Every structure is written in C-alpha cells, then in structure tokens.
Structure 1
Amino acid sequence: MGVAHLSAVRTLPPKCFVEDDGTVSLFRRSLAEGVGTAMLMIAVVGSGLHEGGSQLSSAMAIAGSLIGLILAFGAVSGGHFNPTITLIQWMSGRRKLDCTSWYVAAQAAGGLAGALIACTIFKKTPGTPGIDIPGISSLASEGLASFGLMTIVFCCTRSTSKHVGPFAVGLWLMAAILSTPTNSIANPAVAIALLATPDSASAISVASFVAVQIAGGGLAAWTVSTIYSNGD
C-alpha cells in the first residue's frame, strides 16, 4: 500500500504556474522570473513603439510572447511574470514568504529593465512620470482585466495538463487587450515598468492600478475556489 501510494504521488502531473521542482535555488527561480518579465515588457513596449503597428498586432505580439515565455520558463519558476499570481499563491498558503519576496522583486526589476531596453533599441528616452488621477472607467477596466486573467490562471492550475495554461492565458490576454480601454495591463510589474516608458505613466495611476489589479486577482481566486469547491 505504501509503495503504491508513493508511486502515485511521483506520477502526479505538474501543475500550471507551479515550478516542477521547488528545491531549485531561489536565485535560479527568481532569475527565470526576472528575465521572463523583462522579455514580456520588451514585447509590451516594443509592439507599441513599432512603426506601423496596430492594436491587433500589439495584442498578438504580447499574447504570443507570454505563451512562449510561460512554456520556456514555467518548469523552473512556474512562469508567473506577474506579482499578482505570486502574491495570491502566498496568501493561499501555496508559496513561502521568502520565495514570494524574491519573485516579486525579480518581476518588478525585470519589468523596469525590459522597459529601458525597449527604449534603448527604439532610440527613445523614458518620460517623466505625471500626477494624473485615473478615472473610474480606467480603474474598472484594470480590475476587470485582472479578474479575468487571474480567473483563467487559477482555473488552469487545476488542469491535468501543464500545457493548457500558457495558451489559455495568451488567448484571454489578446482578447482583453482588444476589448478594454486600458488595453489590459493586468500586471503590477508591467504597470510599474510603464513609469520608464517614453510616454511614461502617472505615478498615482500606477499605484491605483496595482491596487485594483491585486484586488481583482484576489476576487478571482475566491471565485475559482468557490466554483471548484471540492479543491484541487
């Protein structure tokens, strides 16, 4: 009985957005998160700065890059590239505080690095952050976009196939970019990194967006846990 049980545990499929081996050093896992977030931000900023680009082409570039990055780094770090995923996993007891701190720091640093790299390759200078206050519609847009994205993420963590998550997230993100007035930032690391882009962003807007993004993620986590009330 004991051997059979251990065998069953070993053959459990790895989950989406959870690293395959939690004993890998935090440096290596955090590096994967930082590099992945930087590459995502290059796609976000670069697709907007590219001459002749459209909202559709930008949405495709961002969604495609995210799918590829999750597939590439997911086995090592879980492929979050988004502090909301990391924070919700910590709050639900699925991730330790030290790992959460390393991940969030790496994601924020990676996002800023990606924005600066994109500015460099497009020969643009980062703008000066403003102090504009976001409207209710913008806050609602980000809350909804984050709720939708995190709903997809946390539903996919319950899938028996680890390859479901990247494509589901990419497809939702592409649709949300095209159908929300804020173009579905839905990621605190990306929101913070917008401060280092040519157009820059309002520091007040960024802080407000981060708050509603995390709140939307928390509501999504509660919704998914209620819908899947029988657990994982």
Structure 2
Amino acid sequence: MTEIAEDTPTTGQKFSAEVLGTFVLVFFGVGAAVMSGGDYVATGLSFGLTVVVMAYAVGRVSGGHFNPAVTVGAALGGRLPWSATPIYIGAQLLGALLAGTLLFALLHGFPGYTAEGNIGANSFGDQGSGYAMWAAFLLELLMTAVFIWVILGVTDARNEFQAFMGPLAIGLALAMIHFGSMGATGTSVNPARSIGVGVFGGTDAVLQLWLFILAPLMGGAIAGLTYPLIFGHGTEPVPGSGLSFGGGRKQQAMYAPPSGYEQQWNQGQPQQWQPGPPAQSWGAQDPYGPPAQDPYAQPAAPQQWGPPAPEQQQPGQWGQPAPQQPGMPPQQGQPGQPQQGQPQQWGQPLPDDGEDGRTQVRRPD
C-alpha cells in the first residue's frame, strides 16, 4: 500500500488554490446564470456544485474559502491568522476578475451582445429587481451569516464527518441560499463574485457594488464572532486570530503547519476502527496489567532493615562465616571484613587500620 506523504502547503500553493477555486466558482456559477437566462435550479446548483468540486480538489491546500466573507469569518472565529487574510482575499479577487474577464470575452460570441445587465451582476432597486436597498442589505447580511455558520459548523474539529461531508454540506448550503434570494439581489454572499463580474456590468452595477461588499463582510464577521460564543472552540484558536491582531509573523500559523481550519479537508485516509482489548469484567485479571494477587496466599514477610535476629541468622549471612569443609582453604567474609569485590555496606566496620587498634565505621556517603 502506497504511503501518503504529508507536507505543509506553502503560501504560494495556498494563493494558487484560492485563485483557481474562486475562478471556477465565478466562471461556472455566473456562466450558468447567464447561459440559462437566470434559471433558478440551474444557477443555484451550479454555484453549489462548483464549491463542492473545488473544495474536494484544493480544500486540503488552503481550506477552500473562495470568498472574502469566509476568510473574515474564519479569522474572527479563530481558525485563520489575520496575517493570512490579505493573501487569501487578494487571491480570491484575482480569480474572480480573471473569470469575469474571460466570461466578458466569451459572451461576445453572441451577435449583438452587451454586458450591461447581461453578465450576471448583482443588483437591487430600480436598476435591478426593484428590491429596496435596506432589504437587500439585510438579506445579503443574513444569508452570508447563515453560510459562514454552516461552514464553521461542518469544519469544526468536533464534527467527525468534516473531512468527507464538509464540502457537500457547504455546497448544498450555497445552493439553498441561491434558491432563497436570487429573485431579490441575484445572490452575492461573496464580494469577490460580485466584483469579478460587476466591473463589466456598466455604471449602475459598479455603483451598487458597495452593498455586495459591505453586507457579506458584515455577515461573515457576525458569524465568525458569534459561533465560538454559542458553540465554543473545537480546538485552540490560531495565534493572531479572533480579536487578537498581534503576535508577530513567527507565531502566526500562516508560517507554521496549517491551522485547524486549513486542515478541514486535509485529513488523509479515514481512520479505520481497530479492535481494542476485550472488555474486562469485574474481578477479572487484566491481560495487559500486572498479575493478580492471590487473595488466599500468605503475605510475604516484611523486609527488615539491618541484620536479622541472632536466632534467625544462618551461617554465611551478615558476616557469619560458613562452615569450613575439611581440606578447603579459609573462606573470605570473616567477621568485620568485607568480601573482596563486594561493595562496602553502610555501617559495616572497616578493618583495623589505626595504631590504637580502634575500629572505625564508614560514614554514609
């Protein structure tokens, strides 16, 4: 079986993953909206499926944000350091603008095509569906907050299905959001998506971009701040995230192994269930622990410190000479003398070496 090499994605790889993912999201999502004439099902599923596909493809590298509102929510939610947010947002804007440029060029393949009002730009009021500005702002803010709550929930470290079901849940959530708001604003919940095609949609589309930038960012910020307060943190917040903007680059997770959020789909192979030791019944001996004591066995005699009593002494113990066999040379270990090659015991008398014949006792070292 081939082993999977583990590595830490570089900043360049994360940047490239966000560019590619955002490009695919905008190109195919907005492209489906334009080509289908704004069909609800086709547009909603196209946006949702592109998130699913690209999250599975490059989510292991960058976490698969593809949306500045997601990046802001992840940073405020403790999943991403603030030092990484300019890299992510810059990549997302670049990918969206590349997709918008390519769509703008390809749509001119239709005779008499004009981009104004026909490139999938988000809108409100008289220039769009007639939906009021305040309602459009609240709708985009609410939809984005719901989207970020879903993302933070399915990528929570405590969610055991995050590695495989996370992208699918996020993609279905985006499709659901489109079904519930397309008729009012065209559904943004993503500043990069709005900017990528809005700059080609004419003066009115450009003037309305502020709403589709500010409302999603506020919705992402609200979700990022409130999710840990409501549900807690699955792991320790990344240094330099949340409301902590300091720490220095050396302590930022951008320059260390990926944070928990960036590893949401970087789980490798699923962990297989391994059978453990059989459940131990009460009173049964643990096969992996020390042997059980026999409750009916006689307890061992306690060890005594010092020489045994005279009636318990045996020949050859504690300096007592063993009986000498006839014809054998005298044995070592005479009383008062340590045996050769044996360590000197504490309190054992030393040989008489003083001129006055007194016995000396070695002090404990």
Shorter-chain TM range is: 0.7 to 0.9
Residues in 2 aligned to 1:171 and 1:132: alpha-carbon distance in whole angstroms: 25
Residues in 2 aligned to 1:30 and 1:69: alpha-carbon distance in whole angstroms: 14
Residues in 2 aligned to 1:214 and 1:192: alpha-carbon distance in whole angstroms: 13
Residues in 1 aligned to 2:203 and 2:33: alpha-carbon distance in whole angstroms: 13
Matched AA of 1:219: I
Shift of 1:191: 1.8
Shift of 1:224: 1.9
Map 1:161-200 → 2, pairs under 5 A? 161-180=162-181, 181-198=184-201
Are 2:34 and 1:49 equivalent residues in the alignment? yes
Instruction: Name 1:148's counterpart in structure 2.
Output: 146
Are 2:206 and 1:208 equivalent residues in the alignment? no
Higher relative contact order (CA 8 A, sep 6+): 1
Matched AA of 2:199: A
Deviation sequence 1:4-63 (CA, Å, 0-9, x none): xxxxxxxxxxxxxxxx85x32211110110111011110122112214661211111111
Instruction: Name 2:229's counterpart in structure 1.
Output: 226
Unaligned segments of structure 2, at least 5 residues: 1-5, 126-131, 236-365
Which of 67, 86, 93 pairs up with 1:108?
93
Instruction: Name 2:58's counterpart in structure 1.
Output: 73
TM-score, length-normalised on structure 2? 0.53
Instruction: Name 2:133's counterpart in structure 1.
Output: 135
Shift of 1:149: 0.5
Identity %: 25
Residues in 2 aligned to 1:108 and 1:201: alpha-carbon distance in whole angstroms: 20
SS in 2 for 1:170: helix
Residues in 1 aligned to 2:216 and 2:41: alpha-carbon distance in whole angstroms: 23
Please say if residues 195 and 201 of structure 1, whose CA atoms lie closer than 8 Å, have aligned partners that are also in contact.
Answer: no
Shift of 1:92: 4.1
SS in 2 for 1:163: helix
Residues in 2 aligned to 1:231 and 1:202: alpha-carbon distance in whole angstroms: 41
Unaligned segments of structure 1, at least 5 residues: 1-19
Matched AA of 2:19: G
Give the superposed CA RMSD: 2.7
More helix by percentage: 1
Instruction: Name 1:16's counterpart in structure 2.
Output: none
Matched AA of 1:165: G
Residues in 2 aligned to 1:186 and 1:132: alpha-carbon distance in whole angstroms: 14
Instruction: Name 1:5's counterpart in structure 2.
Output: none
Instruction: Name 1:10's counterpart in structure 2.
Output: none
Which of 71, 74, 84 pairs up with 1:99?
84
Residues in 1 aligned to 2:48 and 2:204: alpha-carbon distance in whole angstroms: 22
Q: Name the larger-Rg structure.
A: 2
Residues in 1 aligned to 2:29 and 2:199: alpha-carbon distance in whole angstroms: 12
TM-score, length-normalised on structure 1? 0.80
Please say if residues 127 and 196 of structure 1, whose CA atoms lie closer than 8 Å, have aligned partners that are also in contact.
Answer: no
Moved more, 175-184 or 76-85: 175-184
